[in-house]
Amino acid sequence: MTAFRKAALGLIACGSLLILAESASAESDNAVTDPVVQGLTNCGLGKTADSLHVLFVLDESGSLRKHDPKNMRVEGTEKALEALKRLADRFEGKFDIDVAIHGFSGGQATTDMPYRDENPWLTFDDFDDLINDAKGFASRNVGLYTDYREAIGGAIDAFDKHDPGQT
The sign one gets for the Cα dihedral 86, 64, 158, 8 is positive
Architecture of domain 51-162: 3-Layer(aba) Sandwich (3.40)
Q: Evaluate if pTM is beyond 0.95.
A: no
Each of the 167 residues of the chain gets a pLDDT tens digit; together they read: 555 554 444 445 444 444 444 444 444 455 556 676 677 667 766 667 778 899 999 999 989 999 999 999 999 999 999 999 988 888 888 888 999 999 998 765 555 668 888 899 999 999 999 999 999 999 998 888 888 988 999 999 999 999 887 65
